[in-house]
Structure 1
Amino acid sequence: MRKAFLVAVAALALSVAGCGSTIKPEGAAQAVTDLVSKETGFTPTDTTCPSGIKAEIGAEFDCKFTGPDGNYVAHVRVVKVNGEDLDFYIQSQLEG
């Protein structure tokens, strides 16, 4: 399951709303949760992302969640900004 989990999440982007000039941590966490759920059938219940990340192209940050076989890190990169809508490239992997 782990290999399929990593590959399925690697190349997708999602949109969420930003708040002024920073990304809403809860919006980014929901984007990660939605993507993992859609691509794997597993829905994380504890996804967390950092606050204070600038809503600009190229910004990168890591979110964390518990997967079916351990702790995961979802590396998130902002690839498009359109007003308050952001497109993310999200790649997750088992932590460690």
Structure 2
Amino acid sequence: MSRFTMSARRAARGSVAIGVVCGVAGVLTACGAKVPEKTVEEAVSDGIADKVGLRPKEVDCPGGMPLEVGGEADCTLTVVGDREIGLTVRIASIDGAKPKFEYDVDLMKLLEK
């Protein structure tokens, strides 16, 4: 299930924070556990689809992210008209192997030409 949250501070600057909870098995690397790229991309895409009823054309999060609270990934969201929007995905909390993702989407960029 996904959950949509919006803080007044983020709303004022035209951003939306969306939290998504999903099951993830961490992939062990020399640097520790990682959330695979595909898992992050699917969680972001599913969260947006659940909230607005439309799935983005593509979400790209190269390299995945560290499986730790505060772990981040820089992603690109492709929407209608092949417009690309940058977003940062973070792990807000972890319950067992289930990270809660939150991310900022700049709504003002969605409205630009």
- In the superposition, the TM-score normalised over structure 2's length comes to 0.66
Q: Determine if the alignment matches structure 1 residue 35 to structure 2 residue 41.
A: no
Asked whether the equivalents of residues 18 and 55 of structure 1 are also in contact (C-alpha less than 8 Å), the reply is no
From the superposition, tell whether residues 35 and 52 of structure 1 become closer, same or farther in structure 2 (CA, over 3 Å).
closer
After TM superposition, give the deviation of residue 42 of structure 1 in Å.
Answer: 2.4
Q: Determine if the alignment matches structure 1 residue 65 to structure 2 residue 77.
A: yes
Alignment of 1:19-30 (within 5 A): 19-20=26-27, 21-30=33-42
Please list the CA deviations of residues 42-86 of structure 1 after superposition, one character each: whole Å capped at 9, or x if unmatched: 212321112252100111122112112511122111111122110
From the superposition, tell whether residues 11 and 53 of structure 1 become closer, same or farther in structure 2 (CA, over 3 Å).
closer
After TM superposition, give the deviation of residue 13 of structure 1 in Å.
Answer: 0.7
- Partner letter of residue 45 of structure 2? T
Instruction: Say which structure, 1 or 2, has more relative contact order (CA 8 Å, 6+ apart).
Output: 1
Structure 1: runs of 5+ lacking an equivalent: 1-5
Asked whether the equivalents of residues 85 and 105 of structure 2 are also in contact (C-alpha less than 8 Å), the reply is yes
Corresponding residue of 1:15: 21
- Partner letter of residue 77 of structure 2? F
Asked whether the equivalents of residues 40 and 64 of structure 2 are also in contact (C-alpha less than 8 Å), the reply is no
Provide the identity percentage: 21
Corresponding residue of 2:104: 91
**Structure 1: how far apart are the matches of 2:25 and 2:63?**
11
**Structure 2: how far apart are the matches of 1:82 and 1:49?**
22
- Partner letter of residue 29 of structure 1? E
- Structure 1 runs of 4+ aligned residues shifted over 4 Å read none
After TM superposition, give the deviation of residue 18 of structure 1 in Å.
Answer: 3.8
Larger Rg: 2
